Amino acid sequence: MIEIIPAIDIIDGKCVRLSQGDYERKTIYNEDPLEVARMFEDHGIRRLHVVDLDGAKAHHIINYKTLERLATKTQLIIDFGGGLKSDDDLRIAFECGAKMITGGSIAVKQPEIFLSWIEKYGSEHIILGADVKNKKISVGGWLEDTGEELLPFVRNYKGKGIDKVICTDISRDGMLTGPSIGLYTEILEDMEDLYLIASGGVSSMQDIERLQEAGIPAVIFGKAIYEGKISLNDLTKFIVNA
Would you mind telling me the total number of residues written for the chain in this entry? Answer: 242
Selected catalytic residue, list 9, 52, 54, 89: 9
Using a pLDDT cut of 90, give the percent of the chain over it. Answer: 83
Residue (of 129, 146, 124) closest to 137 by Cα position: 146
Give the residue-averaged pLDDT of 39-68.
96
Residue 242: the pLDDT is 74
pLDDT (average), residues 51-74: 95
Catalytic residue among 54, 79, 89, 131: 131
Residue 142 scores a pLDDT above 60: no
| 88 in active site | no
What whole-number distance in Å separates Cα of residue 143 and Cα of residue 149?
17
**Active site (annotated) includes residue 9:** yes
Average pLDDT, the chain: 93
pLDDT digits (tens, 9 = 90+) for 187-234: 999 999 999 999 999 999 999 999 999 999 999 999 999 999 999 999
- pLDDT tens-digit map of 162-189: 999 999 988 887 677 899 999 999 999 9
Distance of alpha carbon 193 from alpha carbon 163, whole angstroms:
8
Per-residue pLDDT, 7? 96
List own/partner pairs for 130-136 with CB under 8 A and 24 or more apart. 130/104, 130/154, 130/165, 130/166, 130/167, 130/168, 131/21, 131/104, 131/167, 131/168, 131/170, 132/167, 132/168, 132/169, 132/170, 132/183, 133/169, 133/170, 133/171, 134/171, 135/183
pLDDT at 111 (0 to 100): 96
